[in-house]
Amino acid sequence: MDFRLSSDQESFVAEVRQFLDKELTPEAVEEVASEERMGPNAKAMLLKMAERGWLSLHWPKDYYGGGRTAMERFLLTDELAYRGAPGAANSNTGGRIVAPTLIMFGTREQCDRFLPPIARGEIDFALGYTEPNAGSDLASLEMRAELDGDQYTVTGTKFFNTACHYAEYHWLAVRTDPKTPKHKGISLMMVDLKSPGIEIKPIWTMAGDRTNAVHYDHVRVPKNNLLGEPGQGFYYMAKALEFERMFVSGDLRRYYEQLLIELKKERAAGQDRLSDPRIRQTLAELAIELHIVRLFTYRVAWSLTVGQSAGREASIVKLFKSELAQRMARAGAQALGLYGQLEPDSPRTPMNGRAERYYLQSVSASITGGSSEVQRNVIAQRGLGLPR
Ligand SMILES: Cc1cc2nc3c(=O)[nH]c(=O)nc-3n(C[C@H](O)[C@H](O)[C@H](O)COP(=O)(O)OP(=O)(O)OC[C@H]3O[C@@H](n4cnc5c(N)ncnc54)[C@H](O)[C@@H]3O)c2cc1C
């Protein structure tokens, strides 16, 4: 099988690399890796990408987009993830996930209102699905939106809503009809996070990263901010999840390469861990798995490019990638010995503390965006046709 990129795609990747060489600053990379996940330098970088039309690269041209394919969006995201740049995860949620869903189900007026500022990098979205009593079973969500004239009144609590402390809008799943079967009474809406009655409080993960609890107390949301038809939100969320699940592996490749560089540096300085057969075997195993995950991610990107649903394949990638990240983090921590456990600001830490950070951060990879158990259920039921 020929996996080569077309010459257009090759030159696009070259353009992205050139841009990143010139524009990506260490400060922006640091902000993306920081506990807050965002900062002024990362935002400035997103604005530069917006100037090139990269936040809206794969939207149709008549919807303010660049008209490029999902494959080009994938190639861009993979490069951004490889370099630790903003726009790959936890930012440009508006461009990557919200806009394609809005184009499918929103009104023309909503597209004209929301798409241009997303494309210009002026507004971004945070995903608002999970609640204290609804995570894997999202259909159980309870946040209530009641229609009152031209506005909804929204009350309830969301949990683990990651980007709410820097995004401008909430892509919010609410219950508009409590009487119908649970997945049929859900709607999706776009909410200005500055609306009166919204309170955002940090939740810190074990890695020290910030996500949020978001409380709504009688928040007024214009009726025309509801996406498509009321009661169809569960279906729209499933589509949005497909856009979310265009995974890349650039971040894993980067970590692996940094680990190898560090181990070679140590070897040159007289600390030869690379001769240890257990470490060598683990590194070889990881190199194979990195290759496999890359092929999986290409498969999903290709499916989306040709308009096929990537349900089962997307679950396979999500599962394999998140658990590979954990294997890689464990391997890094073991290979670097006790020094690998030192925190970023410790003077003797290798890789600027990245091994310690990655070890802790990788734990949530198999929870966020749908847990490993849920992915295995999807593969078993939808992929293999096994009973529920
Ligand atoms: C760092 C981080 C960032 C996040 N960011 C966001 C965000 O921005 N927006 C957002 O909306 N959400 C976000 N989430 C929430 C995330 O999507 C949920 O945590 C996840 O879907 C699991 O839901 P839960 O935490 O309620 O666990 P539960 O659903 O209560 O699951 C608990 C355990 O039971 C298992 N389980 C549940 N159901 C089944 C089943 N049917 N079969 C087998 N096992 C099952 C799960 O695998 C898990 O091990 C984030 C989570 C984390 C940790």
Find the mean pLDDT for residues 27-56. Answer: 96
Query: What pLDDT, on the 0 to 100 scale, is given for residue 310?
Result: 78
Residue 136 Cβ inside 6 Å of ligand 1? The answer reads yes
CATH H superfamily, domain 7-91: Acyl-CoA dehydrogenase/oxidase, N-terminal domain (1.10.540.10)
Read off the pLDDT of residues 51-66 as tens digits, 9 standing for 90 and up.
999 999 999 999 999 9
Q: In the predicted model, what is the mean pLDDT of residues 119-130? A: 98
pLDDT tens for each residue of 137-192: 999 999 999 999 999 999 999 999 999 999 999 999 999 999 998 889 999 999 99
Residue pair 99/56 in contact (Cβ under 8 Å)? The answer is yes
For residue 281, give Cα distances in angstroms to 67, 140, 153, 253, 331.
44, 45, 58, 17, 11
Is residue 1 predicted with pLDDT exceeding 80? no
pLDDT (tens digit, 9 = 90+) per residue, 356-383? 999 999 999 999 999 999 999 999 998 8
So what's the pLDDT on residue 383? 86
The string of pLDDT tens digits covering residues 337-354 is 999 999 888 988 999 899
**pLDDT of the residue at 159:** 97
How many A from CA of 132 to the centre of ligand 1?
10
Instruction: Kindly list the domain boundaries of the chain, sorted by start residue.
Output: 7-91, 127-232, 245-383
Tell me how long the chain is: 388
What architecture is the 245-383 domain classified under in CATH?
Up-down Bundle (1.20)
> In which region does residue 196 sit, left (phi positive, over 0), alpha (psi from -120 to 50) or beta (all else)?
beta
Residues ≥6 apart with Cβ < 8 Å to 158: 128, 129, 130, 131, 143, 170, 172, 212, 213, 214, 216
Structure confidence at residue 66 (pLDDT)? 97
pLDDT of residue 315 exceeding 80, the answer is yes
* Interatomic CA distance for residues 282 and 328, integer angstroms: 9
Domain 127-232, CATH class in plain words:
mainly beta
Percent of the chain with pLDDT over 70: 100
Does the Cβ of 64 fall within 6 Å of ligand 1? Answer: no
* pLDDT at residue number 182: 86
**Would the pLDDT of 19 be above 90?**
yes
Return mean pLDDT, the chain: 95
From the list 364, 279, 378, the residue with the least C-alpha distance to 323 is 364
What letter would DSSP give residue 382? Answer: I
Instruction: Give the closest residue (by CA) to ligand 1 atom 7.
Output: 161
Structure tokens at 323: 């658990």
Active site residue 262: no
| CA-proximal residue: ligand 1, atom 2 (nearest) | 368
**CA 151/CA 146 separation, integer angstroms:** 8
Burial code (b: 16+ CB inside 10 Å, e: under 16) for 225-248 equals: bbbbebbbbbbbbebbbbbbbbbb
DSSP 134: B
Residue 19 and residue 12 in contact, taking contact as beta carbons nearer than 8 Å: no
Contact status, residue 320 vs residue 293, Cβ threshold 8 Å? yes
C-alpha–C-alpha distance, residues 354 and 375, integer Å? 28
Q: What is the phi-psi region of residue 313: left when phi exceeds 0, alpha when psi lies from -120 to 50, beta otherwise?
A: alpha
The per-residue pLDDT for range 201-254, each reduced to its tens digit, is: 999 999 999 999 999 999 999 999 999 999 999 999 999 998 898 899 999 999
Ligand 1 atom closest to 133 (CA): 26
